[in-house]
Amino acid sequence: MAKGQLEFQEEVDAARIENAMWRSWKADGSGDHSGDHSAKTEKLERVRGSIGDSIDFSQIRYPQETRRCRYDDLPTFPVRPNFAGFENALQPASQCVVFDGCPEDPYHPSNTPIYQTSTFVQPSSSEFGPYDYTRSGNPTRTALEKHVAMLEHAAAAFAFSSGMAALHTVTRLLKQGDEILVNEDIYGGMHRLLTQDCAHNGVQVTFVDTTNLTAVAKAITPKTKIIHTESPSNPRMKISDLRKLATLAHQHKVLLSVDSTMMPPVICQPLLLGVDLVVHSATKFFSGHADCTGGLVCVRDPELAHRVAFLQNAEGTALAPFECFLFLRGIKTMWLRVNRAQENTVQIAKALAKHPRIKEVFYPGPGGCSSEALRIHNSQSSGCGCIISFTTGSVSFSRRFLDASRLFKTTVSFGSVNSLGEMPCTMSHASIPAEERTLPADLVRLSVGIEDVRDLLQDLQRALDFASSQKPPPEHDGYDSRFEDLPVVPRPPDEEERPRKSLSEWLLSEVEGPSTSQMLSGAVPNPNDQNKH
């Protein structure tokens, strides 16, 4: 290898190691030498002295007798790559699939194993290995956090037990007397956290329309430390210009945090727009199957990642190994799921906009927002997402519509393969006091899934028809998976001599037959006794 190539490789290796050794880097007095080649090389040689020329992250040790930093300054997980400047040659669909979560595993599994353990045996009583306790770090969680960081172009990503735990960690970056500016159209759970937790801990919470840069600039004070927003917002789907917000925030030395749950990384990567923190409720699109709960915080700056890592460990809010495995599996199909759902969303939004009973449709696509908002959204995202909100002009009509729908299940969440619907004022945003709520009471939010769009359109049309009439929706229409009108198997022994029964008729005859207590008392022979020996 030529001298120039060798120096470049050392520079790359040193940068990778430096990023994940924030604590010792700060505590040993080295200072900030991010541009100092000699300092990076010195650090690289120090690490190589303990692990050899091959940088095997799993073999890094932290001796306790000779350490020059505090215990709390030790990394809680092995060093990992900084993906902030990473340029992936693969397309988004491939990025979701092509990822090895455990390249150091000697058995080379094709899928990341579930390290279902609470503790890890240490090399000795005087030094730590790469992991010691799952609250602090776990190989399955490391794999998930690395994959998410790669997708988001983050210096580091952190997995939490829920989306609210992730949002709470962002607020914990504030101290008493600090101020956070929040978009006025915020998720109900975040509103509750801010007004009933942060405000009681000495943090000033100010709501502002983040789509209005002039209003944001006027709201910033010397106490403002974080601006937090959503784009699109949940559920009004209002669009904020993340690039201009980031520029404005940084002019005042303020961090910009974005809850990008509605825009997963296959659609939008806010860190590339200048955002400092990106939060996801991974329960939605990262899972995609409504079978696990989790949250993510993605950070652009290594020093900020240092603090988030400390809070994750100190407060015990990290995601468990099994859920990490489920999210790793969900990521593999995220592009496919989101792409299909977006195609359905476009057609459903068009159909709703044409219906005479629908007053207004909100979504970041044609006819769902202003032309300027659509221009901004398209400049920072590659798709419209899978969420549509609309008003009907009547609370009772909206309720009848949802109650009549069969494919759009009434559920508070979104982002699943199944289509879902809800009324935010009485469900996801019910925790916001009515006098503080900025949402129309008749607002309906739909999360569009991956079903055949023809079935979804038919279900919506039927639900709208029922909502427009005074007829009650049918109780049994084949969508509840009970199939009560079908014959049953296995059939009773004398079924050949009887007319064929449907499932509902058979269940009714069983209910009207001898009771269990009668069979147990011996008054009626138990048919199962013939199988006993």
- Among the listed residues 187, 241, 337, 445, the single catalytic one is 187
Mean pLDDT, residues 255-264: 98
- Among the listed residues 73, 241, 259, 459, the single catalytic one is 259
- Among the listed residues 16, 26, 135, 437, the single catalytic one is 135
Q: What is the pLDDT of residue 484?
A: 79
Catalytic residue status for 187? yes
Q: What is the pLDDT of residue 491?
A: 76
Read off the pLDDT of residues 179-236 as tens digits, 9 standing for 90 and up: 999 999 899 999 999 999 999 999 999 999 999 999 999 999 999 999 999 999 999 9
Range in 63-67, 121-125, 158-162, 310-314 with the lowest mean pLDDT: 63-67
Q: What's the CA gap between 88 and 99, in Å, rounded?
A: 11
Q: What's the CA gap between 48 and 33, in Å, rounded?
A: 19
- Across 389-424, b (16+ Cβ under 10 Å) vs e yields bbbbeeeebbbbbbebbbbbbebebbbbbbbbbbbb
Neighbours of 70 (CB within 10 A): 10
Read off the pLDDT of residues 414-471 as tens digits, 9 standing for 90 and up: 999 999 999 998 887 777 777 777 788 999 999 999 999 999 999 999 999 999 997 7
Strands 387-391 vs 127-128: parallel, antiparallel or unpaired: unpaired
Beta bridge partners of residue 230, listed in sequence order: 259
The model's pTM is 0.82
Both tokens assigned to 511: 């209910």
Confidence category of residue 27, pLDDT binned at 50, 70, 90: very low
Range in 53-67, 312-326, 374-388 with the lowest mean pLDDT: 53-67
Q: What's the CA gap between 187 and 317, in Å, rounded?
A: 21
Beta bridge partners of residue 279, listed in sequence order: 259, 297
Mean pLDDT, residues 34-44: 55
- Residue found by looking up tokens 């007829």 in the block: 471
**Residue count (the chain):** 533
Q: What's the CA gap between 453 and 419, in Å, rounded?
A: 10
What single letter denotes the amino acid at residue 300? R
- Across 341-370, b (16+ Cβ under 10 Å) vs e yields bbbbbbebbebbbeeebbeebbbbbeebbe
Q: Indicate the SS3 state at residue 167.
A: helix
Strands 444-447 vs 387-391: parallel, antiparallel or unpaired: antiparallel
Q: What's the CA gap between 390 and 353, in Å, rounded?
A: 9
Mean pLDDT, residues 478-503: 71
Question: Residue 207 contacts by C-beta under 8 Å, 6 or more apart in sequence?
Answer: 181, 182, 183, 184, 186
Which carries the bigger pLDDT value, residue 59 or residue 219? 219
Strands 204-208 vs 255-259: parallel, antiparallel or unpaired: unpaired
Which carries the bigger pLDDT value, residue 291 or residue 526? 291
In degrees, to the nearest 5, what angle opens at C-alpha 275 toward C-alphas 272 and 279? 105
Max CA distance (Å), the chain? 95
For the chain, give the percent of residues with pLDDT over 70.
77
Q: What's the CA gap between 481 and 184, in Å, rounded?
A: 41
Mean pLDDT, residues 348-365: 97
Both tokens assigned to 424: 């935010």
Q: What's the CA gap between 38 and 73, in Å, rounded?
A: 23
- Using alpha carbons, list the distances in angstroms from residue 150 to 120, 157, 217, 265, 266: 27, 9, 32, 10, 11
Q: What's the CA gap between 220 and 195, in Å, rounded?
A: 19
Q: Are 285 and 414 in contact (CB under 8 A)?
A: no
User: Is the per-residue pLDDT at 109 higher than 80?
Assistant: yes
Catalytic residue status for 284? yes
- Among the listed residues 40, 43, 284, 340, the single catalytic one is 284
Q: What's the CA gap between 262 and 285, in Å, rounded?
A: 8
Q: What is the pLDDT of residue 274?
A: 98
Catalytic residue status for 135? yes
Q: Are 134 and 119 in contact (CB under 8 A)?
A: yes
What Rg, from alpha-carbon coordinates, does the chain have?
A: 28
Catalytic residue status for 259? yes
Q: Are 50 and 21 in contact (CB under 8 A)?
A: no
- For residue 356, whether the previous peptide bond is cis, meaning omega lies within 30 degrees of 0, is no
Q: What's the CA gap between 187 and 44, in Å, rounded?
A: 45
Strands 224-230 vs 204-208: parallel, antiparallel or unpaired: unpaired
Mean pLDDT, residues 1-19: 48
Q: What's the CA gap between 145 and 147, in Å, rounded?
A: 6
